[in-house]
Amino acid sequence: MNLSLDAKNRFLCCVRLGSMLVSVFSIWSSILAQESSNFLDHDGATVKTRFRPPDDFVRKPVNENSFGDYLRNLPLKKHNSPVKYFDGTEKPHDVFEAVVDLPIGNRDLHQCADAIIRLRADYLRSQGKFGEIHFNLTNGFRVDYLKWLDGFRIKEKNNKTWWERTEIASNDLDAVYWDYLELVFYFAGSYSLSRELQQVDISDVRIGDVFIYGGFPGHAIIVVDLVVDPISGKKLMQLAQSYMPAQEIQILKNTENEDLSPWFEAEYTDGAFGSNVLFTPEWTFYEGELKRFK
């Protein structure tokens, strides 16, 4: 391409200006992304240390080694990490503030209720409470981890389910444990989990409680942190979910009130989808759908 000196200068100026604009846009986008929450500590490596309580709020005390303590201290990936699907691709939707740093396997199984089942089982396993690790399948059949460790495996035919010993008894190994979880993930879901939990009122919400609609499809999210205003008694909560297809657990963004995000008011509101609802980025829950592990 033949250009005069003046034309070349104008061309180079346009290129440099364009490059500067791209750089400014990139920097500004990065700043906006990093400051997506008013309560963010970039270096925080857990739920508790990544997000500060809003002014006048303090964290609700929990017992050491409790389920609430476990969830509050879930490890998080570095700030601005993407949520990844089971196949390694990235979730395109901007509905989260942070990503929980836990493996999810490479099958399309670790979805919404499965992630909550996993968190509950992980906690019980960390406390050595193997006898309390059990979940019901969609048909109501109870699957105990201790039975699994003893070498029994599930057999199913014509919607009838039974145990059959097909393996040698095993110690609690990571691979054995994950095989157990994936079996539960495959045959259980929001429908079965919702029937194992006990309904509670949102005024008594605690860390570890679950907003859940048991259906086909259904959805479930879990409370992973809770703060309270000591004067007014008002509570705010942090919520986490997986979703479809199977994906990493994420701390949800409050898309209804981004100035408060990642905190959500622990109360129902009214809106276009009805009265007494909780709006979350990918599901709306209704009064009566907050439940607790027994």
pTM: 0.87
Read off the pLDDT of residues 200-240 as tens digits, 9 standing for 90 and up: 999 999 999 999 999 999 999 999 999 999 999 999 999 99
The span from the CA of 288 to the CA of 272, in Å, is 18
CB 176 within 8 A of CB 148: yes
The span from the CA of 116 to the CA of 286, in Å, is 19
Q: Whose CA is closest to 104, among 119, 124, 125, 123?
A: 119
DSSP 132-192: G-EEE-TTS-EEEHHHHHTTEEEEEETTEEEEEE-S------HHHHHHHHHHHHHH--HHH
Eight-state DSSP code of residue 202:
G
Read off the pLDDT of residues 131-169 as tens digits, 9 standing for 90 and up: 999 999 999 999 999 999 999 999 998 889 999 999 999
SS3 assignment, position 16: helix
* Position 68 pLDDT exceeds 50: yes
Q: At what angle do helices 112-126 and 174-187 cross, to 10 degrees?
A: 150
The pLDDT value given to residue 27? 32
* Position 9 pLDDT exceeds 50: no
The span from the CA of 78 to the CA of 88, in Å, is 17
Read off the pLDDT of residues 164-199 as tens digits, 9 standing for 90 and up: 999 999 999 999 999 999 999 999 999 999 999 999
Alpha helical stretches, state H, the chain: 5-34, 47-50, 67-72, 112-126, 145-149, 174-187, 190-196
Q: How confident is the model at residue 36 (pLDDT cuts 50, 70, 90)?
A: low
The span from the CA of 138 to the CA of 122, in Å, is 21
